[in-house]
Structure 1
Amino acid sequence: METEENYLERASYTWSEDSIRLFATPSRTARGLFFYMQEAGYFKTVWPYFTERANLNSFLVVCTLSGEGRLQYEGREYALLEGSLFFIHCMKHHEYHTVKGKNWEFLWLHLNGMNALGYYEKFVKNGFRILDIREKELTEQTLRKIIAINQKRELTTEVRTSGLIGTLLTELIVQNTAESRQAILIPEFVRAAEKYLEQHFREKVPLQELADMLHVDRFYLIKEFGRYVGISPHEYQIELRISYAKELLKYSDLSVNEIAYACGMNQTSHFISLFREREHSTPARFRKEWRPGPAERGGREAEGRSCRRAGE
Structure 2
Amino acid sequence: MHNSLDNFSQKDIKITNIVSKETEKSVLYVHEVGYLTSKSVSPTKRFQTDSFLFLYVVNGKGVVEYDGSVYKADSEQCIFLDCRRPHSYQSDSKEPWEVMWVKFNGTPAQYYYSLFTREKCCVFIPNNPQNIKIIISQIINNNDRKSKYTEIINAKLITDLMTSIITEYCIYKDCSGKSKNKIFSVIDYLDKHFTESINLDDLAQRFYISKFYLTREFKKEFGITIIQYILNKRIEYAKELLTFTDKTIEEISEICGFHDQSYFSKQFKKSENITCLSYRKKYSNSKNQAS
TM-score range, shorter chain: 0.5 to 0.7
Q: Does 1:177 align with 2:171?
A: yes
- The aligned runs of 1:106-185 (5 Å cut-off) are 106-126=99-119, 128-174=121-167, 175-178=169-172, 182=180, 183=183, 184-185=217-218
Shift of 1:53: 2.5
Shift of 1:50: 2.9
Q: Report the residue type matching 1:161 in the other structure.
A: N
**Take 1:42 and 1:123, find their aligned partners in 2: how far apart are those partners?**
24
Which of 64, 74, 87 in structure 2 is aligned with 1:94? 87
Moved over 3 A (4+): 45-48, 178-183
Shift of 1:46: 4.5
Q: Does 1:60 align with 2:58?
A: no
- Residues 46 and 102 of structure 1 are in contact (CA less than 8 Å); yes or no, is this contact kept in structure 2? no
Shift of 1:77: 1.6
- Residues 35 and 161 of structure 1 are in contact (CA less than 8 Å); yes or no, is this contact kept in structure 2? yes
Match of 2:190 in 1: none
1:133–1:187 CA distance, 2 compared to 1 (3 A): closer
Structure 1 residues 177-220: Cα deviation after superposition (integer angstroms, max 9, x where no partner): 13796343243698xxxxxxxxxxxxxxxxxxxxxxxxxxxxxx
Q: Report the residue type matching 1:101 in the other structure.
A: K
Shift of 1:44: 1.1
**Take 2:52 and 2:117, find their aligned partners in 1: how far apart are those partners?**
13
More RCO (CA 8 Å, sep 6+): 2
Shift of 1:38: 0.3
Shift of 1:167: 0.8
Q: Does 1:21 align with 2:14?
A: yes
**Take 2:159 and 2:151, find their aligned partners in 1: how far apart are those partners?**
12
TM-score, scaled relative to structure 1: 0.52
Match of 2:246 in 1: none
Aligned residues: CA RMSD: 2.3
- Residues 41 and 147 of structure 1 are in contact (CA less than 8 Å); yes or no, is this contact kept in structure 2? yes
Aligned identity (percent) is 24
Which secondary structure state, in structure 2, belongs to the residue aligned with residue 50 of structure 1? coil
**Take 1:29 and 1:112, find their aligned partners in 2: how far apart are those partners?**
13
Structure 1 residues 21-40: Cα deviation after superposition (integer angstroms, max 9, x where no partner): 10111122311211000001
- Residues 61 and 75 of structure 2 are in contact (CA less than 8 Å); yes or no, is this contact kept in structure 1? yes
Shift of 1:17: 7.3
Structure 1 residues 52-84: Cα deviation after superposition (integer angstroms, max 9, x where no partner): 223310100000000111111122221111110
**Take 1:37 and 1:77, find their aligned partners in 2: how far apart are those partners?**
27
- Residues 71 and 97 of structure 1 are in contact (CA less than 8 Å); yes or no, is this contact kept in structure 2? yes
Shift of 1:51: 3.8
**Take 2:44 and 2:222, find their aligned partners in 1: how far apart are those partners?**
46
Q: Report the residue type matching 2:56 in the other structure.
A: C
Q: Does 1:71 align with 2:71?
A: no
Stretches of structure 2 lacking an aligned partner (at least 5 in a row):
1-8, 184-216, 224-291
TM-score, scaled relative to structure 2: 0.55
Which of 25, 32, 40 in structure 1 is aligned with 2:33? 40
Shift of 1:125: 1.6
Match of 2:220 in 1: 187
How many aligned residue pairs are there?
A: 175
**Take 1:134 and 1:100, find their aligned partners in 2: how far apart are those partners?**
27
- Residues 53 and 90 of structure 1 are in contact (CA less than 8 Å); yes or no, is this contact kept in structure 2? no
